[in-house]
Amino acid sequence: MPHAVRELVIGTRGSTLAVWQAEWVQTQLRDLEPGLNVSVKRIKTTGDQILDTPLAMIGGKGLFVKEIEEALGRGEIDLAIHSMKDVPTQLPAGMEILCIPLREDPADVLISREGRSLDRLAPGARIGTSSLRRQAQVLNYRPDLKIAMLRGNLDTRLRKLDEGQYDAIILAAAGLRRLGLDERVTERLPYEVCLPAISQGALGLEGRADDAFVRELVSRLEDRATRIAVSAERAFLERLEGGCQVPIAAHALIEHERLTLRGLVASVDGARLVRDSITGPSVEAARLGGELADRLLSQGGREILKEIYETSFPSPLKWEGEGGGATASAESPSPCPSPTRGEGGRGV
């Protein structure tokens, strides 16, 4: 360790899960460099402060990283810990995802008050989620169920379920496992029923691109297979210009240097759902992600996404004709931006 570097400050959101993730990284770094003082700084993001509005209406998931990235840019912290599913596909200039550790279980899980699986829930049962992706897939599978908005941290969501506000809720398996709450899970939802969010279960360690010390330090936590899988999923999302938590899902699996990527696009009500998969060399992860996205667009995904942006909330996109895909439009200002950031951004 260079003698000049004595302290490293980690920035994180203040939720129980976010702090757990940051403290896990803190422990790993202390083990790697026993003489390094590693501290954790909690930063309140805009997304944490607005809890009574669906994310799709307040600007998408970029709101959970913006303030942390700003602190990183000002030098107040040296490393930002994110859930990768919250990270836009383009980063601010000068920033980079320096490390993606081994991924936790990416699946979604159902937790029901009476221990009933998704198939056994009564008709009209009230399901809590704030995710349009989960809503669309659950309604596609069980159109008789009722979806109700559920925001808040993990503890708050579980409390609302226990109070009887919902018959069941859907959460990410990764958060429950990290906090030791596996026993609350009623059912792990198969990918055929509920495909995960892009990068769900993966952590992203973001730092300044020119910080050689932090880059070398955190590189020792890197998991190559997770990085490749996440790259495929994010390339899929970027090609679809999937902002505002639209019902887009993907999951990549690598076996023997071959990558299989599943993806889907759905209408918000779940009535229409387009899914497909692609397999190829893992070294071509980004190409495979883009190619799968193009397939879904040509199979009806373009029309589904166009309708969502035009009717569900103000559109951040200008939709071109056949083969044009989705591109950012300065003519349609919106509080709901695409996950890609404008000029000066840097991809992962």
Q: Hey, which residues are catalytic here? A: 86
Q: Are 168 and 147 in contact (CB under 8 A)?
A: no
CA–CA separation, 268 vs 282, rounded Å?
A: 32
Percentages helix, strand, coil for the chain, rounded to the nearest 5?
35, 25, 40
Write a three-state SS string for 95-117.
Answer: EEEEECCCCCCCCEEEEECCCCC
Quote the CA–CA distance of 70 and 61 in Å, as a whole number.
16
| Cβ-based neighbours of 156, under 8 Å, separated by 6 or more | none
**Strand 7-12 to 37-42 pairing:** parallel
| Residue 274 to residue 297: CA distance in whole angstroms | 9
The neighbouring-strand residues paired with 266 are: 273
In this structure, are residues 137 and 195 in contact, taking their beta carbons and an 8 Å threshold?
A: yes
